[in-house]
Homo-oligomer: A and B are copies of this chain.
């Protein structure tokens, strides 16, 4: 076994499997966005729904349940009247922050790049 791992078929397959796992856990249209929202602090059901404009209660509750199972969020019930429920991130959820940050960072750069392209296209169109 070499000290610097070569990119063999083995390691590539291992990488593929690991990435598949991650994508599976973060699957769905909303989980990552929910984590971003909850980074601001614990939130209630309706707050989350308002934050992610288009999500319906059914989908929201499904996503939250899955995230609970993956130990990404904890659901806390308070005996107020009416009952209050909050969702908050677990420490384990924090382990995906690097992923989320890299996604956000790339998205920002990408948008800038697109805008540059459009400017460039317009300039060329004028020059013709």
Q: B98 touching A21 by the CB < 8 A rule? A: no
Interface size on A, residues (CB 8 A): 35
Where chain A touches its partner, the secondary structure class is helix
Confirm or deny: A23 has a beta carbon within 8 angstroms of a beta carbon on chain B: yes
Q: B40 touching A107 by the CB < 8 A rule? A: no
Of the listed residues A20, A102, A105, A109, the one surrounded by the most CB atoms of chain B closer than 10 A to its CB is A102
Q: B95 touching A99 by the CB < 8 A rule? A: no
Confirm or deny: A48 has a beta carbon within 8 angstroms of a beta carbon on chain B: no
Confirm or deny: A74 has a beta carbon within 8 angstroms of a beta carbon on chain B: no
Q: B22 touching A110 by the CB < 8 A rule? A: yes
Q: B32 touching A103 by the CB < 8 A rule? A: no
Q: A104 touching B32 by the CB < 8 A rule? A: no
Q: B107 touching A17 by the CB < 8 A rule? A: yes
Confirm or deny: A16 has a beta carbon within 8 angstroms of a beta carbon on chain B: yes
Q: B106 touching A99 by the CB < 8 A rule? A: yes
Confirm or deny: A1 has a beta carbon within 8 angstroms of a beta carbon on chain B: no
Query: Which listed residue, B19, B52, B102, touches A36 by the CB 8 Å rule?
Result: B19
